[in-house]
């Protein structure tokens, strides 16, 4: 497994580089526009070696986040290395995670070679696997705003759902905020389960105390 390469660029093209490592020139497929270098420059890439019956192809990324998302994308039905690379060419890891959290296939439909069916599969199968907050860098203001907006929307939906179950809005709002502070999953389903657990815990304790009182 070749986990990373660092060396001088010998040649470069649209979506690929040839990097000299120990006197050997390695061709590395890269996300076009996100990894760019000119011959003579030195690069350092996180890499994934994809082995096929008739080929060995090395894919390289500027960040560990991109490499991680690439591996997760390969687990989606119908998505091969080229398609995964295309997704990372068009979208950042933060954008991919945000779209997955909302099960929104529209961003993936912008990727060349990704049809509506595959775009929907990506959005659905990545749901719950990528936390938008993990892929937001300190300087990624747009990503922070998107993650905050997604969190706010999920929280509001869960609060409304808890009110529908009979809790007061104040109880629901407090439970959701406590669940978020405790690190609950960013998905609506995960947040709802965590909030319900917090709401039901005091009730369980009260029932237990009442039982002990009756026993006396």
| Model pTM above 0.85 | no
CATH topology classification for 4-62: OB fold (Dihydrolipoamide Acetyltransferase, E2P) (2.40.50)
Question: How confident is the model at residue 160, as a pLDDT?
Answer: 85
* Angstrom distances, CA of residue 34 to CA of 63, 123, 140, 201: 10, 22, 15, 48
CATH architecture of 65-126: Orthogonal Bundle (1.10)
Question: How confident is the model at residue 207, as a pLDDT?
Answer: 41
Question: How confident is the model at residue 202, as a pLDDT?
Answer: 55
Per residue in 181-206, pLDDT (tens digit) is 787 766 677 778 888 888 887 554 44
Question: How confident is the model at residue 135, as a pLDDT?
Answer: 73
10 and 25 Cβ atoms separated by less than 8 Å: yes
Domains in the chain: boundaries: 4-62, 65-126, 141-204
Contacts of 35 (CB under 8 A, 6+ apart): 17, 43, 45, 60, 61, 62
Question: How confident is the model at residue 159, as a pLDDT?
Answer: 85
Question: How confident is the model at residue 137, as a pLDDT?
Answer: 52
Closest CA to 43 of 6, 71, 74, 78: 6
The answer to whether 4-62 and 65-126 have equal CATH topology is no
Query: For the chain, which ranges sit under pLDDT 70?
Result: 136-154, 185-187, 202-216
28 and 47 Cβ atoms separated by less than 8 Å: yes
60 and 35 Cβ atoms separated by less than 8 Å: yes
Burial grade of 24 (CB within 10 A; 0-12, 13-18, 19 or more): exposed
β-pair type (24-29, 42-52):
unpaired
The string of DSSP codes covering the chain is ---EEEEEEEEEETTEEEEEETTEEEEEE--TTTS---TT-EEEEEEEEEEETTEEEEEEESSHHHHHHHHHHTTSTT--HHHHHHHHHHS-HHHHHHHHHTT--HHHHTSTT--HHHHHHHHHHHTTT--TTTT--TT-HHHHHHHHHHHHHHHHHHHHHHHHTT--HHHHHHHHHHHHHTT--SSHHHHHHHHHHHHHHHHHHHHHHHHHHHH-
29 and 35 Cβ atoms separated by less than 8 Å: no
> Residue 119's CB: how many other CB atoms inside 10 A?
20
152 and 145 Cβ atoms separated by less than 8 Å: no
């Amino acid at each position: 497994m070749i986990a990373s390469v660092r060396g001088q660029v010998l040649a470069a093209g649209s979506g690929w580089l040839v990097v000299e490592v120990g006197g050997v020139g390695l061709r590395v497929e890269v996300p076009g526009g996100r990894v760019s270098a000119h011959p003579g420059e030195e690069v350092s890439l996180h890499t994934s070696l994809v082995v096929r019956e008739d080929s060995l192809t090395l894919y390289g990324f500027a960040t560990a986040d991109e490499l991680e998302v690439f591996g997760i994308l390969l687990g989606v039905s119908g998505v091969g290395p080229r398609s995964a690379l295309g997704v990372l060419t068009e979208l950042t890891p933060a954008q991919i995670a945000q779209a997955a959290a909302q099960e929104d296939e529209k961003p993936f439909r912008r990727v060349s070679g990704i049809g509506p069916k595959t775009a929907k599969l990506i959005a659905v199968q990545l749901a719950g696997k990528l936390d938008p907050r993990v892929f937001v860098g300190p300087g990624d203001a747009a990503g922070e705003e998107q993650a905050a907006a997604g969190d706010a929307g999920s929280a509001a939906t869960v609060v409304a759902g808890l009110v529908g179950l009979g809790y007061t809005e104040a109880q629901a709002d407090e439970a959701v905020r406590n669940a978020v502070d405790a690190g609950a999953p960013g998905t609506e389903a995960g947040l709802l389960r965590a909030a319900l657990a917090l709401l039901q815990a005091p009730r369980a304790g009260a029932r237990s105390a009442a039982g002990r009182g009756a026993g006396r």
